[in-house]
């Protein structure tokens, strides 16, 4: 890449225009000229800013388009991947709950090169409290297939459910420790069930995300030892000491702030405590990883989420950290999360030439690379 303003990692300054060299999927040169040979391919970025590839740590692949497995569906599925993920700069996404058959097929089609797509880690179908299917899922899942959604009654059952999901392709685990069974009522998961699920996941090297919802769901998540909260609890009453404890223990938080505004209520009386809870969590040293809940929320633009996070007190370096190095660190992935020699060529090019990047600029993407290959837009290749 020529004329790239390289933003190597959060906390460092954006460089002046220079060259960035990637070969065989890895970053091999920063600020040096390539040894040119016939296979060298050049992209002139005209001074645009390049960062490590972004992560979206909360998506769902449940919309009808994803289950289109016919050959004729390729362009439709590709358009959906582009719109939801690649054009937003996401090179790695965490699917926190979908139909495993659909998601596994999509992952295979990307790996086979039939579709251009991000790295996808999935939580499979997720695990609910007994009789605790969230009300918004009941509309999506017909009653006669609901038995397929794991809802273990005992710790033993929870361990088996986790093992079975990880065997069938899941790489992370999602627990509804607090499940909105009606818009007003949260059903908590039994602590013994949640704890057994976490133990089995950790035994198999998988990270666990919890959907907390309220004080009780957050308490169960912490008692069970989960690794991340998939949302800020939106009923924040009584959660302050628990979130402080989560921050001290290194439990990560995926805020999904705009999802609350977009799917529940834009009433400031509802949103303000959620923003404050996130701000308090960060002031206690809590680590934030970026995620939007897109797929559940239909809106795909990431700008409102970035602006909401900025409003909660995150500066642009902190936002970049949540999008890149923090999730890589969470997964002990030492090949991603920054731009450096030897790391993978997973890169996001912003459509700005300013060295003073603003939060909203992180939503304006010019191109996305995975392993050194441009995966979006198709037309630039
Ligand atoms: Zn979600």
The set of residues, in sequence order, having a beta carbon less than 8 Å from that of 90 and lying 6+ positions away, is: 53, 54, 55, 56, 118, 368
Q: What is the maximum span of the chain, computed from C-alpha positions, in angstroms? A: 64
Give per-residue pLDDT as tens, 72-122: 688 899 999 999 999 999 999 999 999 898 999 999 999 999 999 999 999
pLDDT at 144 over 70: no
pLDDT at 15 over 70: yes
Choose among 1, 3, 53, 5: nearest CA to 375: 53
Average pLDDT over residues 145-151: 73
Q: How many CB atoms lie within 10 A of CB 88?
A: 25
Q: Which two three-digit tokens encode residue 1?
A: 């890449």
Choose among 129, 142, 63, 137: nearest CA to 95: 63
**Cα 220 to Cα 209: distance, rounded to the nearest angstrom:** 12
Give per-residue pLDDT as tens, 275-329: 999 999 999 999 999 999 999 999 999 999 999 999 999 999 999 999 999 999 9
Average pLDDT over residues 184-208: 97
SS3 string of the chain?
CECEEECCCCCCCCCCEECEEEECCEEEEECCCCCCCCCCCCCECCCCEEEECEEEEEECCCCHHHHCCCHHHHHHHHHHHHHHCHHHCEEEEEECCCCHHHHHHHHHHHHCCCCCCCEEEECCCCECCCCCCCHHHHCCCCHHHHHHCCCCCCHHHHHHHHHHHHHCCCCEEEECCEEECCCCCEEECCHHHHHHHHHHHHHCCCEEEECCCCHHHHHHHHHHCCCEECCCCCCCCCCHHHHHHHHHHCCEECCCHHHHHHHHCCCHHHHHHHHHHHHHHHHCCCCECCCCCECCECCCCCHHHHHHHHHCCCCHHHHHHHHCHHHHHHCCCCCCCCCCCCCECCEEEECCCCCCCCHHHHHCEEEEEECCEEEECHHHC
Confidence of residue 249 (pLDDT cuts 50, 70, 90): very high
| CA 95 to centroid of ligand 1, rounded, Å | 8
Q: Are 124 and 170 in contact (CB under 8 A)?
A: yes
| CA 292 to centroid of ligand 1, rounded, Å | 8
Choose among 335, 327, 320, 332: nearest CA to 25: 335
Confidence of residue 150 (pLDDT cuts 50, 70, 90): confident
| CA 231 to centroid of ligand 1, rounded, Å | 8
| CA 177 to centroid of ligand 1, rounded, Å | 13
**Cα 144 to Cα 130: distance, rounded to the nearest angstrom:** 16
| CA 124 to centroid of ligand 1, rounded, Å | 12
Average pLDDT over residues 341-345: 98
User: Where is average pLDDT lowest: 137-141, 162-166, 252-256, 357-361?
Assistant: 137-141
| CA 23 to centroid of ligand 1, rounded, Å | 36
| CA 114 to centroid of ligand 1, rounded, Å | 27
pLDDT at 186 over 90: yes
| CA 82 to centroid of ligand 1, rounded, Å | 20
Domains of the chain in start order, with CATH, are 1-53+337-381 (2.30.40.10), 54-336 (3.20.20.140)
Query: To 5 degrees, how large is the angle CA 211–CA 216–CA 220?
Result: 65
> Distance from CA of residue 166 to its chain's centroid?
19
Give per-residue pLDDT as tens, 33-72: 767 776 778 999 999 999 999 999 999 999 989 987 776 6
Mean residue pLDDT across the chain = 94
pLDDT at 381 over 70: no
| CA 27 to centroid of ligand 1, rounded, Å | 33
Class of residue 245 by CB neighbours under 10 A (exposed 0-12, middle 13-18, buried 19+): middle
| CA 34 to centroid of ligand 1, rounded, Å | 43
Choose among 94, 105, 104, 24: nearest CA to 70: 105
Please give the backbone phi and psi of residue 310, each rounded to the nearest 5 degrees, phi first: -60, -40
Q: Are 103 and 61 in contact (CB under 8 A)?
A: yes
| CA 142 to centroid of ligand 1, rounded, Å | 19
């Amino acid at each position: 890449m020529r004329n790239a303003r390289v933003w190597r990692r959060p906390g460092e300054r954006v460089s002046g225009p220079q060259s960035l060299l990637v070969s065989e999927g890895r970053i091999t040169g920063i600020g040096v000229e390539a040894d040119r040979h016939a296979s060298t391919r050049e992209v002139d970025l005209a001074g645009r800013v390049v960062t490590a590839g972004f992560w979206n740590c909360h998506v769902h692949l449940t919309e009808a388009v994803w289950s289109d497995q016919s050959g004729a569906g390729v362009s439709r599925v590709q358009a959906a991947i582009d719109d939801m993920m690649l054009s937003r700069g996401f090179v790695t996404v965490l699917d926190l709950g979908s139909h495993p058959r659909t998601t596994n097929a999509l992952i295979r089609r990307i790996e086979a090169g039939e579709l251009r797509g991000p790295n996808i880690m999935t939580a499979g179908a997720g695990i609910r409290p007994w009789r605790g299917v969230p009300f918004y899922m009941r509309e999506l899942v017909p009653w006669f297939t609901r038995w397929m959604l794991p809802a273990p009654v005992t710790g033993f059952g929870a361990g088996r459910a986790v093992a079975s999901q990880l065997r069938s392709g899941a790489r992370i685990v999602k627990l509804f420790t607090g499940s909105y069974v009606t818009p007003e009522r949260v059903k908590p998961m039994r602590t013994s069930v949640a704890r057994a699920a976490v133990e089995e996941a950790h035994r198999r090297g998988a990270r666990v995300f919890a959907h907390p919802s309220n004080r009780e769901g957050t308490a169960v998540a912490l008692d069970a030892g989960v690794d991340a909260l998939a949302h800020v609890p939106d009923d924040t009453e009584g959660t302050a000491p628990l979130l402080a404890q989560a921050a001290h223990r290194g439990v990560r938080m995926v805020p999904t702030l705009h999802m609350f505004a977009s799917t529940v209520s834009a009433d400031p009386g509802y949103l303000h405590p959620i923003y404050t809870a996130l701000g308090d969590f960060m002031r206690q040293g809590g680590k934030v990883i970026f995620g939007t809940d897109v797929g559940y929320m239909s809106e795909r633009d990431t700008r409102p989420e970035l602006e909401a996070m900025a409003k909660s007190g995150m500066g642009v370096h902190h936002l970049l950290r949540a999008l890149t190095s923090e999730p890589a660190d969470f997964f002990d992935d030492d090949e991603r999360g920054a731009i450096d020699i030897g790391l993978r060529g997973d890169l996001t090019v912003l459509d700005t030439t300013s060295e003073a990047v603003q939060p909203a600029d992180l939503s304006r993407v010019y191109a996305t690379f995975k392993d050194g290959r441009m995966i979006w837009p198709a037309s630039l290749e």
